Amino acid sequence: MIMKFADVEVGKEYPAQEFVVAEEGIRAYLAAVKDNTELYEKERLVPPAYAAVFARWEAVADEQLADGTVHAKQKFEYYKPIHWGEKLSVKGVVKEAKEKRGMKFVVREVDVYDSEGDLVVVSTITVIFPA
């Protein structure tokens, strides 16, 4: 479903979704951003930037962003390292929707938990809907 600004519900919580941080996906991501930091291979740790994949809004909500949607701001908070192959639980909530300077801003939060139930990442995403 293509999300329209008028349909955004502030406070809406989305049910938890599962995401497995597979080695193949991590390697493809690191290759794409040209990051060869040894720590990830050595310790089989998920790069923090990979939260862009498992903590993105499309991972928690069956909603597609309209063509031309712009990612304005992004915040990540990290609480615990994630290892390759871990199964994560990802939950989303809409925090804010406002029009400002003729632009339509929406702020969403995605909370990510590991298989032990520990919070590992919080993602706060601000997008501008197309006019």
Partner 1 sequence: MQNFEKGATISLPAKEITQAMICEYADAADDHNPLHIDEDFAKTTSYGGTIAHGMLSMAFIQELMVRNFGVDYLTRGAIEVSFTAPVRPGDMIETNGKVTAFDAETGKAAVQVICQNQNGEKVLSAKCSLRAKDA
Q: At closest approach, how far in Å is the CB of 49 from partner 1?
A: 4
Q: At closest approach, how far in Å is the CB of 123 from partner 1?
A: 10
User: Measured between alpha carbons, how far is residue 12 from residues 16, 24, 91, 94, 110 in Å?
Assistant: 13, 33, 11, 6, 12
Q: Which is nearer to partner 1, 8 or 25 (CB)?
A: 25
Q: Which is nearer to partner 1, 64 or 87 (CB)?
A: 64
Q: At closest approach, how far in Å is the CB of 67 from partner 1?
A: 5
DSSP symbols for 15-74: EEEEEE--HHHHHHHHHHTT---HHHHHHTBPPGGGHHHHTSGGGTSS-BPPTT-EEEEE
Looking up tokens 């139930």 gives 117
Given the rule CB under 8 A, which residues bind partner 1? 25, 28-29, 31-35, 37, 39, 43, 45, 47-49, 52-53, 56, 58, 65, 67-82
Q: At closest approach, how far in Å is the CB of 93 from partner 1?
A: 18
DSSP helix/strand/coil, 6: helix
Q: Give residues with Cβ within 8 angstroms of 100, minimum separation 6.
A: none
**Rg of the chain over all Cα atoms, to the nearest angstrom:** 16
Q: Which is nearer to partner 1, 9 or 24 (CB)?
A: 24
Q: Which is nearer to partner 1, 16 or 52 (CB)?
A: 52
